[in-house]
Amino acid sequence: MNKFKSIFQESILVKREIIDSNAFKSIENMGAYSIAAIQKGKKIILCGNGGSAADAQHLAAEMLIRLRSNYNRDGIAAIALAQDTSTITACGNDLGYEALYERVLQSLGNKGDVLIAITTSGNSENVILAMKQAKKMGIKVFGFLGSGGGRAVKYCDEAFIVPSNNTGRIQESHITAGHALMEYIEDGLIDNGCLVVNEREKHR
C-alpha cells in the first residue's frame, strides 16, 4: 500500500513543481499558435515512442472526435505519425525505424502545420529527425519533454519540460498538459466562432 501512496505523492510533487514554474506560458503560446494555424486550414501533427506514441494518438483522437462529452462539435484536424503497421514495418525494413516520423511528416505535413513532439528523454532519434524535418518545411515545433529537455529542446519553438527523470511521472504530466492544451485550443476555436457546438446528452 505504501508503494502506491509514494507513487501518487511523487506524481503530485512533480505537478506542484510545474505549477510553481513558468511552464504554462509555453503551453499558452502553443495553444495560441495552434488556434491560428487551424483557422488557416492547417493541422496538428503529433509523434512519440511507446507510451508517448499512445499519448500522441490519444490527443489526436480528442481533436478529431471529441474532447469533452458535453460538446458535440466539428472535428479539428489532427494526426499522429505512428501510422498503420504496414507503414511502420515498411519504413523499418526499407529506410530504418529512425526515419519513420521524418518520412511520414515529409509526406503528410505542410507549411504552417504544428508538430507536437513527445519524448520523455528528449533524445529519441526518430522524434528529433521529425523535428528537424519540420523546421525545413516551415512547421512550428512544440516539444513535450522530460529529463531536462535533452537534445530535442534546441529544435523547439516552444517546450514544456517536466522537471523529472522518471518516465512514468513525465508521461503523467505530459498527458495532463496535453489535455489542458487541447481544451485551450477547443475553447479558442469555439470562442472565435470556428466550431459549431451542440450541447447534447453525454455518451461516455
Q: What is the pLDDT of residues 63-119, one digit of tens each?
A: 999 898 888 888 999 999 998 999 999 999 999 999 999 999 999 999 999 999 999
Report if residue 26 sits inside a domain.
yes
Report if residue 86 sits inside a domain.
yes
- Provide the pLDDT confidence category of residue 22 given band limits of 50, 70 and 90: confident
Nearest-10 Cα torsion for 28, 50, 151, 183: 0
In the chain, the number of structural domains is: 1
**Is this prediction's pTM over 0.85?**
yes
Measured CA to CA in angstroms, residue 61 lies from 53, 68, 158 at distances of 12, 12, 22
3-state secondary structure of 78: strand
For position 200, what pLDDT does the model report?
Answer: 57
Between 189 and 204, residue with greater pLDDT: 189
CATH classification at residue 95: 3.40.50.10490
For position 55, what pLDDT does the model report?
Answer: 98
For position 201, what pLDDT does the model report?
Answer: 47
Report if residue 62 sits inside a domain.
yes
C-alpha cell of 118? 513527445
Mean pLDDT of the chain: 94
Report if residue 185 sits inside a domain.
yes
- Provide the pLDDT confidence category of residue 199 given band limits of 50, 70 and 90: low
Report if residue 82 sits inside a domain.
yes
Report if residue 203 sits inside a domain.
no
Residue-number span of the structural domain to which 89 is assigned: 2-198
For position 70, what pLDDT does the model report?
Answer: 80
- Identify which of 49, 120, 124, 109 has the alpha carbon closest to the alpha carbon of residue 79: 109
What is the CB neighbour count within 10 angstroms for residue 41? 10
- Provide the pLDDT confidence category of residue 195 given band limits of 50, 70 and 90: confident
Contact by Cβ (8 Å): 131, 117: yes
Average pLDDT over residues 184-192: 92
Report if residue 176 sits inside a domain.
yes
Measured CA to CA in angstroms, residue 186 lies from 11, 67, 73, 140 at distances of 27, 8, 9, 19
Report if residue 204 sits inside a domain.
no
Say which DSSP state 153 is in: G
pLDDT at 53 over 90: yes
Sign of CA dihedral 86, 92, 98, 102: negative
